[in-house]
Amino acid sequence: MTIICEIPAQKNILDILEKNNISGYTFYEVGGNGSKGIRGQGLQNEKNIKIEVILHEEKLYRILEEIARTLFSDYAIVTYVNDVGVIRMEKFS
């Protein structure tokens, strides 16, 4: 699962992941152009981050639903899902 959001939403998203026992993820600052114009420059609160998570499907939809229900109306957020192949499955149990 990939989530791209404005930095002020980061803590809320990480709290949702933690509540669902997801402890492994990667996030980094990103920039780009979209419906809100060019993002990723200037003030810290105007930057975006990208959060990438590898998780089992049974948790995926519950997390996506909570993010949509609690955060979409207040923050600029894009989410998408890709199937991935994992070589070291023991890292994701």
pLDDT in tens, the chain (93 residues): 999 999 999 999 999 999 999 989 999 999 776 666 665 566 556 789 999 999 989 899 999 999 999 999 999 999 999 999 888 878 765
Query: 3-class SS at 48?
Result: strand
Specify the number of domains making up the chain.
1
Which residue from 88, 89, 74 is spatially nearest to 11, judged by alpha carbons? 74
* Amino acid at site 74: D
Domain span at residue 59? Answer: 2-92
pTM of structure = 0.84
CATH code for the domain of 34: 3.30.70.120
